[in-house]
Structure 1
């Protein structure tokens, strides 16, 4: 899919000005364009779908600014995720594009964050991974409970050293804040200038129904695994705090490589079950 999109320039304000020029699509317009691209591979239709949703990418990218990545880089990765979502979107499933695209956008942003931090040798142990993803949440909880920031309490809650909290906190501070005031009179921020693209009640319901359907399909797929495969998927893929290959290898008294092979085979089985189900039109 080759097309001309707004360049993520050196200034966020300039980029915001560019993406505001693209009108938001009505549900009817979006469906018509999505059908054109799905059926005819109409590149112009895909371009309009993507540019109309660039605002939403910025909204999602803003949720990850505490991880210390450059906001412009997060937006760029999110835009790639949006393009992938448009390419794979099925307009006949009865949901809005953004309800589907949000998963692709988040996946690309999260993958970029993890990859970038891996290059810095951060997040290589279980404790560091927990700290990376839970630090902001823990600090906010301590702040509400005690009324002030407490590094020692945060470290105890996350079971890490105070020095690790301080180091990670420094690394996670971004260089640009969307909450920065840009108006002298009304106190408005850059984030205030972006349109609210949150889903309405009808769209939320459609998204919820789609998620419930997907959960049932995943449950059906996992049920077809043997006990060892199911254990590995539950402990490695779906768990909030996944076990390492070595921990599972010790549990079954097998090698790490064997665990990896079983996990790979189980994922292939799940994919084989899910793909035909996900290809069915909504309501079929």
Structure 2
């Protein structure tokens, strides 16, 4: 797909563009990309300082600087979606909306750079735009299928159908059934179909946008999930390593042997160590306090 250099983009009004530091004409996509690539990038310290000014004082000038310094990120991400035949300028404009949403919600105390946080919001807006314009019926009803939709084209070699080996490889990589890969390839290769349901039956109605941005995929939830995973793996092992052999054995026997939490009883462990059940309870209580202290660093 070839894109015209005269394609226009207007993420800001002309007055706003000048105020943000753009000079010259921004009448076409090439001029816009050239302009944003010349904008200076922020250091980590500058970014954190501006984010705190925005959060604490609602400083719009700080928000402006944060947005400006990340416009090149939007351009870079938009290039990855050119294969869908949609205007480059429109993709960038949708991404800019996602970037501004990210800046508004960014919390500098989370310990991540804005670039990592903003990518989720930028891609979400672009995905919404793509799905609205592709108008495919039931194009992606699960997270795995959405991932398949946005990765299939990059795994195809030319316009030919995928080989069985390619289908098997992609299905394994994205954790979907091979039948789903085949079906999605057929949809992407076929004609456009109305995305809006023509049925009055609520069970048959489908709007892909309803599945695009879910609470689970919202950036703050993604960060929370990552921290929880780290807490369960690295954090738990670190906490257990702080215990003596007997305390660790008691905790593992009581709470970590079975997924359903049905571990050894106090009396069973008391019999094993030749002490009272009350003594086992005391050791367990002390061990849990020690582990809680060790896990504080991962909270």
TM-score (norm 1): 0.49
> Higher relative contact order by CA 8 Å / sep ≥ 6: 1 or 2?
1
Q: TM-score, normalised by structure 2?
A: 0.47
